[in-house]
Amino acid sequence: MKFLITGGAGFIGSALVRFLINETEHSVVNFDKLTYAGNLDTLNSVSDSERYSFIQGDICDDALVRKTLAAEAPDKIMHLAAESHVDRSVDSPGEFIQTNIVGTFTLLNAALDYWEREKPAEFLFHHVSTDEVYGSLSMEAPSFTETTPYDPNSPYSASKASSDHLVRAWGETYGLPYVITNCSNNYGYFQFPEKLVPLMILNAMNEQPLPVYGDGMNVRDWLYVDDHARALYLVATSGKEGETYNIGGNSEKTNIDVVKTICSLLETYNPPKKDQRYEDLITYVTDRPGHDFRYSVDTSKIQSELGWEPEESFESGIAKTIEWYLENQSWCESVQEGQTERARLGLSRNKSG
């Protein structure tokens, strides 16, 4: 089959592309705008494959999307292109509305016309979303399931909730074959350095402050990116049409525990140059607005129906991640060019956004 991956040069998208080329016989068309978070270097290991091709484009460009679908005739569309950083959505929500809502609307209309015209036998529109659409949990609350009511609190999660609803509506109203997946926090190699895990690794390596929001007690479920890629492929090829599947790592951690784990491992892998501990660099900063307290994902549906479960524990995954960043500092430096400071975003409001 042929897979069209939107956002295939991003963190999760590139992991999915590498999985498809390395672990299957399918072909892949990578459709990516190459924003600040898209990087074709993440695909150097597969870019020479005869089964891989790249098209630079914006999902909001209706003419180009339609031209691409007509020319490439994909069997599966896996839609990962999105503005995804919550902190940036606080500062500049307009970009999230445009890409995540208008872009998904544009892609859905083009996909519907393509599907109605060509009727590929195994066609599926797979929309990749987030657990953040479900809102915030207390420590006592049960984990998110696929039937948890939506309750988004940030501009990012609201935009993703909107796109989820659009996909479901195009399926129910127009018959477009679809599935939706909602994942927990991803981490791993090739992640853009503004995210929590790489930010802490790289700041520590450079003996810079480790900025932690609030008291650091917010809880996230951590999912290793290669486990996520494997789950996405299973859903796209074996999932039931019209269903939603939650994907999580079964690894709930407070943010401060994540940071301290990184500091502890770095003490072994990359001892500080000075007579200090990496933990001494931890700095508590003003919490961002609307910071959800806890996310927790119930993965029993995808486990029971598709036989998927994460292969990496947080402990094994974070060790691999730290080792990768230590061994690939040149990549980190290249993607950090133009960034004046590796700090937390989302503490100022761009009034023009």
Question: pTM to 2 decimals?
Answer: 0.94
Q: Which of 156, 187, 278, 295 is catalytic?
A: 156
> Does residue 131 have an active-site annotation?
yes
Return the percent helix, strand and coil in the chain, to nearest 5: 45, 15, 40
> Catalytic: 156?
yes
The per-residue b/e assignment along 149-163, b for 16 or more CB within 10 angstroms, e otherwise, is eeebbbbbbbbbbbb
Collect all residues with Cβ–Cβ distance below 8 Å to 100 and sequence separation of at least 6. Answer: 82, 83, 156, 159, 160, 162, 163
Instruction: Please state, in angstroms and as integers, the Cα–Cα distance from residue 54 to each residue in 19, 284, 307, following that order.
Output: 16, 42, 32
pLDDT score of 339: 53
Per-residue pLDDT at 37: 85
> So what's the pLDDT on residue 91?
87
**pLDDT tens digit sequence for 230-259:** 999 999 999 999 999 999 999 999 999 999
Residue 151 annotated to the active site: no
Q: Which of 58, 87, 131, 194 is catalytic?
A: 131
Instruction: Summarize pLDDT for 338-349 with one digit per residue, the tens.
Output: 554 444 454 454
What is the per-residue pLDDT for 338? Answer: 52
| Per-residue pLDDT at 120 | 93
CA distance 235 to 180: 9
Determine if residue 261 is left, alpha or beta; phi over 0 gives left, psi from -120 to 50 gives alpha, anything else beta: alpha
Q: How does strand 219-224 pair with strand 252-254? A: antiparallel
Per-residue pLDDT of the chain (353 residues; tens, 9 = 90+): 999 999 999 999 999 999 999 999 999 999 999 998 899 999 999 999 999 999 999 999 999 999 999 999 999 999 999 998 788 888 889 999 999 999 999 999 999 999 999 999 999 999 999 999 999 999 999 999 999 999 999 999 999 999 999 999 999 999 999 999 999 999 999 998 888 999 999 999 999 999 999 999 999 999 999 999 999 999 999 999 999 999 999 999 999 999 999 999 999 999 988 778 999 999 999 998 889 999 999 999 999 999 999 999 999 999 999 999 999 988 888 887 755 444 445 445 443 33
- Return the pLDDT at 351: 37
pLDDT at 344: 47
Out of 58, 132, 226, 292, the active site residue is 132
User: 68-104: b or e for each residue (b if 16 or more CB lie within 10 Å)?
Assistant: bbeebebbbbbbbbbbbbbbbbbbbbebbbebbbbbb
